[in-house]
Structure formats: C-alpha cells, structure tokens
C-alpha cells in the first residue's frame, strides 16, 4: 500500500534534486512519518545517495522517522508562551498523558512534541493538537483540551 | 466590493481561527443567506491585529450612517450570531456585551477608530489586512492593487524602479536592515541569466508573527512586490519560502498566486508585456537557521539547510542554483507597491533620518493589549507599550522589553523613551529583528529569559561550526546551573568570554548573534545573575525553588 502511494506521489514530480524536501513533506503528510524503505525509493527516484535523503530527513525538525500517535500534541515554546507559563503547561501535559517530549504512547494515541513558535503569541501560552490551536492555556484548560474527544483533525484552511 | 448596505468583516487570522472564528463566519453566512436580510454582506478578512480580543468582527456600513461606522465586536461566539444580525436591522442597537472595554475605565468603546490600540498606530503595510478578503483578488484590485505593477512595467524602466526604491530609504525588514535599493541594484548588475527572487517568509523568531499576518491578511501585496522586484532585477522565477508551521498562510498564498495567474499578473507575458515571471511556494521544514539566506537557498536546493562559510560570494551574485538571487523579507516586499504607487517621498516622510517608513511589531508578553501593531520608525517604546499596548496588566511594573528574538536582547525599563529604529536598537545591544517585541514585568526573571534563548539556539544550531555548536551548549549549561541554584563564582566571566568567542568565530548570523540575549541581560540586569550565583536567590521568584521550571 505504501509503495502504491509513493508511486502516486512521485507521479507528479520530475526527479529534480530540488524536489526532495517537497516529496518528503508530501509522503509524511500522507503516512505521518518517513518509513526507511520509502526513503530508499526516493533516493533512487531523485538519483542521490541514500545517505543524502537520510541527512536531509534527519536535519529538519518537521520530519519524523517513526510513526506518530493519533493525537499529535505540540506545546509551544515561543518567547511569549514561555514568559506566560509554557513550562508549567508542558509539565501538566507530560503528567496528563504520561509522556516526555518526543515520545509516543504505546497505544499510539498520543505523541508529545514541542514547537519553537506557533505564531499565536497574542494568545500565549498555546498548545496545538494535530491542526487545532488552543490559546490562553492554564494547566486546567490544557488538561480539558487534551482529554476532549475532538481529535483536532480539521484543516485550519 | 459589495453594494449591500452593511459588511460584516469576520477576522480569519490564525489567532481568531483558534478561537472559533471560522464557525462564526459560516454561521453568520448561513443565517443571512437563509433569511431575507439581503442588505448584509459577510466577509472573511485577514488578521485585524488585536488577536488577544478575538474572534473579532467589524461592521462597516456601506452607506452613510456614522452612528454605526466601524462597530468593533470582540470575543464573538457562534451563540452571538443571531443577536449580531438583529443589531444591524433597522431598529437594532450595538451589542454592548461584545464591545471592547477600556481596561482602565471599563467603559465600552463601540468604534474601531476610537480604540487606543488602533488609533495610535499608523498602518500602511497593514492598512488592508482586516478589511479585504484575502482569498479574493478583486478586493485587492478594488483598493488599487496591482496598479503599482502596471506603473512599473509600462511607465518605468527597471533602473527607474530601483532608483525609486533607493531614494525611498527602505531597509530590509527581515532584521538586518540592509538598504533594499542597493541590494536590488547589486542583483540587477550581477552577471548571469536565470535570476531568482525569493521572499523570505521563514519567520522563525519565537514571539513574532507579523509576516504570517501579512501573508494571511494581504497576500497579494507580497506577490505584487515580488513581481515588481523581478521586473527590476530581471528575474524569471520566484519562490516564497514559508515555514511549515503556517498552513493558513500557505493556503492563502496558493489561492492568491493562482488568481494572479488567471488575471495575467503572473506567468508568461505579464499584462501582455514581454516580461514573464512566476512564483512557486516552498515550505520550510522546521529549521530556524534557514532564515539565513545561504541556508534558505540550500534548503530549496534539496540540501541540509546549513549556511555557507565566509568568505563567500553574496547571494545577489551567487544564490539559488548559483544564480544571482534577490532575497527580501515579506514586509519589505509588501512595502514596494506602496512606494511605487505613492512615490519615494511619501514613504520617506515617515521614520527617522536613517530608518524610513514604518515598523510592524508583534506586541506580546506581559502587556494589556497583545497583537499586531504598526508604527513609524522612531516611535518610542513608551508609545508602543503604554499608549498602544495599554501598559502592564495587574498593576505590575515594566521590567524589560525583548526585541529581535534569539538574536536580539532585553532592554531595561529605564530605556523606555528610546526611539525604536534599526540604529538605536543596535546601539543598545539589541536588534530590530523581524519584529517580535515581548514585554516582561517584575515577575519575569532575566536569567531565566537568557537561559530560554540559549536553550533555543543550542537546539537550532545547524552543527556545522564548532563555536556555535559547542559554545551555545556550554553557555546554556552554565545558565541552566545558575537558574537551578548551582551557579559558581566566575560563571559571569566565563559567559562573557564564551560570548566573545562565539560572536567572533561563528560562520553565520545565528551564532554571531546567539550571545546577545546573555550580553544584554548581563549589561542591564547583572544584579539578578549575582543574586542567583552568590545568594542562591531568584529576585523574580521564578528559578531556584520559585515557580517550577522545565
């Protein structure tokens, strides 16, 4: 299934070197992460060493080499969030879902990440679950948002 | 625009969307469509700037009715939709519960124009953010959009455009403040065909969102600026490099580019002239260092985003795919149509002797009115923080203002009357940066802030050069120890020594500016460091057994 999907994605690219990042982004958008086998195929398609694809995939914070949980929780670490209590929010989130930054729960329900800045600074502190941003967090509200059934899957566009 | 009597502008910036403004928009639209209220038009707009009060709605009458002009509603929920519609009907009255209340007097202020947050600003780049639909090119055209492009192509030579930009005094608004016209001229003169124009929209400074708001609120202004730049330097292809964290900006830009192509404003033979240019969007993949021009270029080339070491040719000589490349920030491009339409003199009327025009800031942190603001260069910090920002909440005292993100510094409260422009900020040890301005009060610990920024830079260092890769980690560890009560005598000297070495020997701007937050806090708040180190005490009560830190 993954192979078919890759073929479909690669169908709209020419195989130029400059297409590497967009291809990795599109694959990750569809699969949630970058499986090793897929990266090898992408290297062949573009005609670069496999190590080059890995070096790019591991350089950028956006790319994941492991599958993610259904709810991707990102706590914003931006400056405005920091001085308005982001460390306490991160702490609450860690305790509520029992994960540390970068970890995914065994049941694949949650992944906990931090993000440098969501750009919602006027509503600091913020967290993002999948694509939904929630602002003006308190530890209590963060708990509520985390445990709500809404999976935040809707695209903000 | 609409021939209906009332237009309800519903803000759809990221801040308001996170508060549910999308639901408010559709609910208003549906309710009005289902009824006979055909004198009301509902419109989606970009960021109004007062994000903290969102979701925001502004109601403008199209006819003359000064009583109802620019009624401003805050924190609107879908439950308010019916009442809002009632309020616009013939016998309706403004809804007092949704009006903005002056934090000092608690009195409601019904009109947009009377709210200090807005009426003390001078919005030129942001003028149409919040009153045009960013997903409809006709609205941009209706406010004079793309007239500057016509003027440039049909009435001006490329050299004439460059000379207009030069004499306006515009400086790059991405942070460094390099004169824009000179950069364009260098790129025009650079040998080689297949030149590129790149818009740097990799707004990576934490605490800054002004570029995002411009792209979300008025994407065509950026695109028009890029097309004019391409005409001036002789480029055929352009990229907008947007961070992946800004999905809404990406989707608005995509729509705008497509609409511009349909109108013959992008693509082959623009406006039937012999000038051709097209734009592609490239999404960044989450690396702060890619805001640096050579790293950004490498990233588009499908490589790790690592800056090129000095000495190296300028990007204007040898940039993307080794071709001459013009890189400017979002707001720099957004200024171009204004300069071409209104003239260089109009632009240079605002600002100070060496910093012309306006500055857009994301005003956040411990300040009453958080949001996006625009003021002439040279406005004082006092005007920004107290007149527009409404001061510090909870009766607390101002302690410091941080500008320039991780490359900038913290200025103390006694510098509040300092004018904000490129040169004054640099002299004070900070930088203008891309426009983040984070206000800090007496409960903010300056050592913790320095630690915070070094934590950021040591994570974001690309790892290529040793001073930055290892030096920032060492600085972070020392600061971390100090905030945990494990500081040692001599730590301050060690921080100063490391700062000097990292500034002098890093290969790119990230490393060269990384020590700034530490240097400025040491310069202005050294006593706080000493209290942590010698007395094991955090004066602000944040570190060492104060509030828990991560």
The beta strand positions in A49-156, using DSSP E, are 71-76, 110-115, 127-129, 132-134
DSSP letter at B440? Answer: E
Chain B interface test: which of A94, A116, A152 (most B C-beta within 10 Å): A116
With an 8 Å Cβ cutoff, is A11 touching chain B? no
- State the number of CA atoms in the 13 A half-sphere of B517 facing the CB: 30
Least CB–CB distance from B364: residue in A25, A124, A134: A124
3-class secondary-structure state, position B208: coil
Cβ pair B18:A133 closer than 8 A: yes
| β-strand partners of B373 | B361
Distance CA B394, CA B262 (A): 52
Measured between beta carbons, the chain B residues lying within 8 angstroms of A137 are none
Residue A68: burial class (beta carbons within 10 Å; 0-12, 13-18, 19+) = middle
Angle at B21 between CA B218 and CA B372, to 5 degrees: 45
> Which pLDDT tens digit goes with each residue over B356-406?
999 999 999 999 999 999 999 999 999 999 999 999 999 999 999 999 999
With an 8 Å Cβ cutoff, is B331 touching chain A? no
Sheet holding B358-365, edge to edge: B371-376, B358-365, B436-441, B398-403, B409-412
Distance CA A126, CA A144 (A): 14
3-class secondary-structure state, position B306: coil
pLDDT of residue B88: 84
pLDDT of residue B225: 98
3-class secondary-structure state, position B326: strand
Mean pLDDT of A109-131: 92
Does position B12 have pLDDT exceeding 50, yes or no?
Answer: yes
- The sign of the dihedral angle between the CA atoms of B148, B149, B155, B156 is positive
Distance CA B401, CA B142 (A): 39
User: Which of B99-113, B279-293, B322-336 has the weakest average pLDDT?
Assistant: B99-113
Measured between beta carbons, the chain A residues lying within 8 angstroms of B204 are 116-117
| β-strand partners of B282 | B241
Name the minimum distance, in Å, from the CA of B221 to any CA of chain A.
Answer: 20
ipTM > 0.95, yes or no: no
Length of chain A: 157
Residue B505: burial class (beta carbons within 10 Å; 0-12, 13-18, 19+) = middle
% helix, strand, coil for chain B, step of 5: 45, 15, 40
Least CB–CB distance from A83: residue in B304, B366, B460: B366
pLDDT of residue B519: 97
Measured between beta carbons, the chain A residues lying within 8 angstroms of B547 are 87-88
Does position A154 have pLDDT exceeding 50, yes or no?
Answer: no
3-class secondary-structure state, position A115: strand
Rounded alpha-carbon distances, angstroms, from residue A121 to A117, B25, B350, B362, B458: 8, 23, 28, 8, 22
Q: Label residues B27-56 b or e (16+ Cβ within 10 Å = b).
A: bbbebbeeeebebbbbbbbbbbbbbbbbbb
Distance CA A7, CA B20 (A): 38
Does position B548 have pLDDT exceeding 50, yes or no?
Answer: no
Rounded alpha-carbon distances, angstroms, from residue B39 to B42, B431, B523: 10, 49, 60
Distance CA B493, CA B513 (A): 18
Cβ pair A119:B14 closer than 8 A: yes
Q: Are strands B325-329 and B195-201 parallel, antiparallel or unpaired?
A: parallel
With an 8 Å Cβ cutoff, is A121 touching chain B? yes
Six-digit token pair at B98?
């949704």
- Token look-up 């005094």 returns B169
Distance CA B226, CA B426 (A): 28
Does position B66 have pLDDT exceeding 70, yes or no?
Answer: no
Name the minimum distance, in Å, from the CA of A9 to any CA of chain B.
Answer: 17
Distance CA B2, CA B131 (A): 12
Distance CA B237, CA B253 (A): 16
Six-digit token pair at A127?
């967290």
> Which pLDDT tens digit goes with each residue over B428-469?
999 988 889 999 999 999 999 999 999 999 999 999 999 999
Distance CA A33, CA A39 (A): 11
The residue of chain B with its CA nearest to that of A101 is: B550
| β-strand partners of B57 | B10, B73
With an 8 Å Cβ cutoff, is A25 touching chain B? yes
Q: What residues have CB less than 8 Å from B400, skipping those under 6 apart?
A: B410, B411, B412, B413, B440, B444, B446, B449, B524, B525
Mean pLDDT of B470-484: 97
**Other CB atoms within 10 A of residue B414 CB:** 9
Chain B interface test: which of A27, A80, A95, A115 (most B C-beta within 10 Å): A80
Q: Percentage of chain B surpassing pLDDT 70?
A: 97
Six-digit token pair at B387?
């007149």
Q: Are strands B398-403 and B409-412 parallel, antiparallel or unpaired?
A: antiparallel
3-class secondary-structure state, position B280: strand
Name the minimum distance, in Å, from the CA of B504 to any CA of chain A.
Answer: 25
Measured between beta carbons, the chain A residues lying within 8 angstroms of B372 are 122
Q: Which band of pLDDT confidence, cut at 50, 70 and 90, is reported for residue B550?
A: very low
pLDDT of residue B451: 96
Helix ranges (DSSP H) in B156-242: 158-168, 180-189, 210-217, 219-233
Q: What residues have CB less than 8 Å from B124, skipping those under 6 apart?
A: B335, B338, B350, B357, B358, B374
Chain B interface test: which of A117, A128, A132 (most B C-beta within 10 Å): A117
* Contact between residue B502 and residue B468 where contact means Cβ atoms under 8 Å apart: yes
Q: Are strands A127-129 and A132-134 parallel, antiparallel or unpaired?
A: antiparallel
Six-digit token pair at B55?
């979701």
Name the minimum distance, in Å, from the CA of A61 to any CA of chain B.
Answer: 5
pLDDT averaged over chain B? 93
- Cα A148 versus chain centre, distance: 20
Q: Indicate the pTM of the whole model.
A: 0.93
3-class secondary-structure state, position B77: coil
Six-digit token pair at B471?
């030096």
pLDDT of residue B1: 44
- The sign of the dihedral angle between the CA atoms of B14, B20, B26, B29 is negative
Cβ pair B18:A157 closer than 8 A: no
CB proximity under 8 Å: A 26-85 to B: 46, 48, 55-56, 59-63, 77-84
> Which pLDDT tens digit goes with each residue over B87-105?
888 778 889 999 999 888 8
Residue closest to B435 by CA, chosen among B171, B223, B205, B226: B205
Q: Percentage of chain A surpassing pLDDT 70?
A: 94
Q: Which band of pLDDT confidence, cut at 50, 70 and 90, is reported for residue B215?
A: very high
pLDDT of residue B535: 95
CB proximity under 8 Å: B 55-94 to A: none
Mean pLDDT of B198-209: 91
3-class secondary-structure state, position B50: coil
pLDDT of residue B170: 97
With an 8 Å Cβ cutoff, is B302 touching chain A? yes
With an 8 Å Cβ cutoff, is B291 touching chain A? no
């Amino acid at each position: 299934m993954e192979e078919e999907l890759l073929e479909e994605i690669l169908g709209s690219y020419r195989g130029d070197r400059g297409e590497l990042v967009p291809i990795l982004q599109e694959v990750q958008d569809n699969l949630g992460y970058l499986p090793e086998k897929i990266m090898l195929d992408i290297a062949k398609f573009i005609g670069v060493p496999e190590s080059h694809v890995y070096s790019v995939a591991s350089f950028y914070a956006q790319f994941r080499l492991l599958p993610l949980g259904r709810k991707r929780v990102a706590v914003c670490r931006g400056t405005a969030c920091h001085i308005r209590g982001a460390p306490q929010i991160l702490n609450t989130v860690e305790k509520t879902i029992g994960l540390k930054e970068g970890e995914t729960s065994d049941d694949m329900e949650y992944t906990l990440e931090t993000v440098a800045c969501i750009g919602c600074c006027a509503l600091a502190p913020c967290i993002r679950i999948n694509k939904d941003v929630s602002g003006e967090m308190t530890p209590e509200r963060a708990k509520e948002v985390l445990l709500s059934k809404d999976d935040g899957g809707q695209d903000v566009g | 625009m609409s021939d209906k009597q009332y237009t309800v502008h519903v803000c759809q910036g990221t801040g308001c969307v996170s508060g549910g403004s999308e639901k408010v928009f559709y609910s208003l639209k549906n309710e009005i469509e289902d009824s006979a209220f055909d004198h009301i038009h509902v419109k989606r707009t970009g960021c109004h700037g007062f994000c903290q009060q969102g979701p925001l709605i502004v109601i403008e009458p199209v006819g003359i009715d000064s009583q109802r002009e620019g009624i401003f509603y805050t924190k609107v929920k879908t439950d308010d939709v019916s009442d809002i519609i009632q309020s616009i009907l013939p016998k309706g009255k403004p809804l007092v519960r949704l009006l903005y209340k002056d934090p000092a007097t608690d009195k409601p202020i019904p009109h947009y124009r009377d709210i200090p947050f807005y009426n003390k600003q001078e919005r030129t780049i942001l003028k149409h953010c919040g009153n045009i639909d960013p997903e409809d090119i006709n609205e941009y055209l209706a406010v004079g959009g793309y007239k500057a492009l016509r003027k440039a192509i049909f009435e001006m030579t490329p050299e004439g455009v460059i000379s207009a930009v030069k004499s306006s005094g515009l400086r790059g608004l991405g942070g460094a403040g390099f004169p824009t016209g000179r950069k364009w001229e260098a790129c025009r003169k650079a040998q080689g065909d297949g030149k590129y124009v790149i818009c740097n929209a990799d707004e990576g400074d934490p605490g800054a969102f002004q570029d995002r708001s411009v792209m979300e609120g008025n994407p065509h202004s950026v695109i028009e600026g890029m097309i004019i730049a391409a005409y001036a330097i002789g480029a055929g292809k352009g990229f907008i490099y947007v961070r992946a964290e800004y999905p809404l900006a990406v989707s608005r830009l995509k729509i705008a580019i497509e609409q511009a192509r349909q109108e013959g404003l992008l693509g082959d033979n623009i406006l039937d002239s012999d000038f051709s240019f097209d734009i592609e969007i490239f999404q960044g993949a989450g690396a702060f260092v890619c805001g640096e021009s050579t790293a950004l270029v490498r990233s588009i080339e499908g490589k790790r985003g690592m800056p090129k070491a000095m000495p190296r040719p300028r990007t204007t000589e040898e940039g993307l795919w080794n071709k001459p490349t013009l890189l400017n920030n979002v707001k720099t491009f957004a200024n171009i149509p204004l300069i071409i339409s209104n003239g260089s003199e109009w632009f240079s009327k605002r600002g100070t002797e060496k910093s012309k025009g306006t500055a857009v800031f994301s005003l956040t942190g411990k300040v009453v009115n958080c949001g996006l603001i625009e003021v002439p260069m040279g406005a004082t910090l006092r005007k920004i923080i107290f007149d527009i920002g409404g001061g510090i909440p909870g009766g607390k005292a101002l302690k410091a203002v941080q500008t320039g993100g991780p490359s900038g510094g913290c200025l103390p409260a006694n510098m509040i009357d300092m004018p904000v422009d490129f040169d004054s900020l640099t002299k004070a040890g900070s930088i203008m940066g891309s426009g983040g301005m984070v206000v800090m009060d007496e409960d903010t610990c300056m050592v913790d802030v320095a630690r915070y920024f070094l934590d950021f830079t040591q994570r974001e260092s690309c790892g290529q050069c040793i001073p930055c890769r290892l030096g920032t980690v060492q600085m972070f560890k020392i600061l971390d120890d100090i905030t945990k009560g494990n500081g040692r005598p001599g730590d301050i000297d060690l921080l100063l020594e490391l700062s000097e070495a990292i500034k002098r020997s890093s290969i790119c701007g990230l490393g060269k500016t990384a020590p700034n937050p530490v240097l400025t806090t040491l310069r202005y708040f050294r006593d706080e460091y000493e209290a942590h180190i010698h007395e094991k005490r955090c004066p602000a009560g944040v570190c060492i057994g104060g509030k828990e830190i991560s």
